Chain A
Amino acid sequence: MVSGLPDSPQMNYPIPTGTRDILPDEMRELRQLSSALLETFMRFGYGEVSTPTMEYEDVLVRGDERAAGASYRLFDEHGQVLALRSDMTIPIARLAATRFADAEPPLRFCYLSHAYRAVRPQRGQQREFLQAGIELIGADAPAGTVDVLEVLMAALDAGGLPRARVGLGDAGMFTGLLRAMGIAPEDGRAVLEALARHDLVELEQRVAELDIAPERRETLIALTQLRGGPDVIERAIEIGGDDVRAAISRLAEVADRLSDRGIAERVIFDLGLVRDLGYYTGAIFEVYDPALGHVIGGGGRYDGLLARFGHGFPACGFALYVERMHVAQAEEDRIRAEGGR
Chain B
Amino acid sequence: MSEPLRLAVAGGSLFGETLDLLDRIGVDTKALRSDSRALMFPGDEVTVVTMRPSDVPTYVEAGAVDLGITGKDVLMEQHERVVYELLDLGYGGCRMVVATRAGNRVADDLERRLGAIRIATKYPRVAARYFEQSGRQAEVIEVKGSVELAPLSGLADGIVDLTATGRTLEENDLEVREVIAECTARLVANRVAHKMRHEAIDQIVERIGNGAR
Contacts and interface: CB of A to CB of B under 8 A. Distances in A.
A292 interface: yes
A293 B195 contact: no
A341 B193 CA distance: 14
A290 B194 CA distance: 11
A109 interface: no
Nearest to A290: B196
Q: How large is the interface on A (under 10, 10 to 19, 20 to 34, 35 or more residues)?
A: 20 to 34
Nearest to B79: A197
Contacts, number: 58
Residue of B1, B190, B194 ringed by the most chain A CB atoms within 10 A: B194
B101 interface: no
Contacts of A198: 82-85, 191
B198 A228 contact: yes
B85 A293 contact: no
A268 B195 contact: yes
7 contacts: A167-B195, A200-B86, A201-B186, A270-B195, A293-B193, A294-B63, A294-B192
Interface residues of B, number: 26
Interface string B63-93: 1100000000000000010111111100000
Contacts of A341: 3
Contacts of A227: 194-195, 198
Interface string A300-341: 000000000000000000000000000000000000000011
Contact of A228 (B3, B64, B199): B199
A225 interface: yes
B202 interface: yes
Contacts of A165: 195-196
Nearest to B83: A198
Contacts of B194: 227
A202 B194 CA distance: 18
Contacts of B155: none
